[in-house]
Amino acid sequence: MYTSLQHFNEFGAKKIEKVIKSFIEERKDIADLVYGIQENLYELGRNIITEVLEDMDECLRKDRLRVKEWEIVRKEATTILTTFGNVKYNRTYYKSKKNKEYKHLVDEIAGLEPHDRVSTDVVITTIEEAIESSYKKAGRKASYEDEITKQAVMKKVHGIEIKDAPINNKDKKEVKILYIEADEDHVPLQNKKNLKKDKRKKDKEPGYIMPKIVYVHEGIDNEKSTAKRKCLKNVRYFGGIINPEDLWIKVADYINKCYKEETIETIYISGDGAPWIRQGTQWIMKSRYVLDKYHLNKYIKAATAHFNDDRTMYYTLKDEIDYPDKKAVKRVFKKILNETESETKQYAIKNARRYILKNWDGIAIQEERGHEIVGCSAEGHV
């Protein structure tokens, strides 16, 4: 048994007994009990890690193969930040007899890079927290005893290399229809100080980025879907902060590798009408653009929400769009504008009219191909 475990059985268990006794007798809050137990268990965790690493180092010093290939230079103390707190341990520094390379062999075995001061578990915790909050808060929550600086967290996040998942297909599939759904979203940047300084500048950078998401699938998977949740069949995701051309090239390459072009009849690209989404029809063979119904309905509501008529005007406009009759849609918009006095509302109506007419091709296709078009769910995925 490890010395640290023996020590805990002898002393640590007694400390926990005192914590429990104090909680009961002094009627403390349950949080005191949790933190008291946690402190002792984390101390045990640090001691075990120290002992394991030092035992591994000692085994390497005695290993015959190591003696042939590496010579001992010196022994050094170091500290690594873990979820349990700072772990201090001694390890041996070696010099290769073949190429004069220097290494801490036990660190390499433990997955620690040279000059690493933070373990992978802390990095994972930090990144997960940074996604939800900020670099600063992530640094505070990274470890039990210590925190990481905001700059260090940012460096870890920015250093992540995201690789595309491998394409595991032996034979190209034969399908008649493929679906591509696309969207983007505003994500605020964590540079509030710089934004405040740049407020006076006309050419200041925006305080957000626009990550894109594109996914390819074969329609609804009826076997896996339920009444409440629809599942997509053989879905493949692409995205990130990426140039639209590079993104569509990735998508086109995936389709080329996984599907037989000669069997594909149509590829439907659904989205909100953003230029980069419509650009996909230039890169993807046999593709047709479809305006997703979520955004279409959003603009129909924007043009008619101010009418107190039990949604009569809403359905009047929607019916002409669904028909679809472009001239009739223009007439309905004219009527809506004539019956609207507010300049602000008129601006919203004109904006909705411009959006709907600009995306008319993506609307009109529903009459011809609506029976085989799957509703876009990209908004929810983003």
pLDDT band for position 206 (cuts 50, 70, 90)? low
Per DSSP, the three-state class of 68 is helix
**pLDDT score of 230 more than 90:** no
CA distance 219 to 289: 16
pLDDT in tens, 171-192: 999 999 999 999 998 666 655 5
Q: How do 187-188 and 212-217 pair as beta strands?
A: unpaired
How many CB atoms within 10 Å of residue 251? 22
- Confidence band, pLDDT 50/70/90 cuts, at residue 12: confident
Q: Residue range 143-147: average pLDDT?
A: 54
Q: Give kind and range of the element (H or E) at residue 246.
A: helix 244-258
Quote the pLDDT of residue 379.
47
Q: What is the pTM of this model?
A: 0.63
Contacts of 12 (CB under 8 A, 6+ apart): 40, 43, 44
As a whole number of angstroms, the distance between CA 86 and CA 81 comes to 4
Q: What is the pLDDT of residue 380?
A: 47
Tokens standing for residue 280: 């996909």
Cis-peptide, bond into residue 206, ω within 30° of zero: no
Around 356, how many Cα atoms within 13 Å sit in the side-chain half-sphere? 30
In this prediction, residue 25 carries a pLDDT of: 86
Rounded mean pLDDT, 272-282: 96
Which tokens in the block code for residue 237?
């995701």
Choose among 59, 163, 65: nearest CA to 110: 59
pLDDT at 195: 47
Contacts of 117 (CB under 8 A, 6+ apart): 79, 80, 81
Residue pLDDT, tens place only, 315-324: 999 999 999 9
Work out the number of other CB atoms within 10 angstroms of the CB of residue 150. Answer: 17
Give the pLDDT of residue 129.
61
CA 342, CA 171: separation in Å to the nearest integer?
61
Residue 1 has pLDDT above 60, yes or no: no
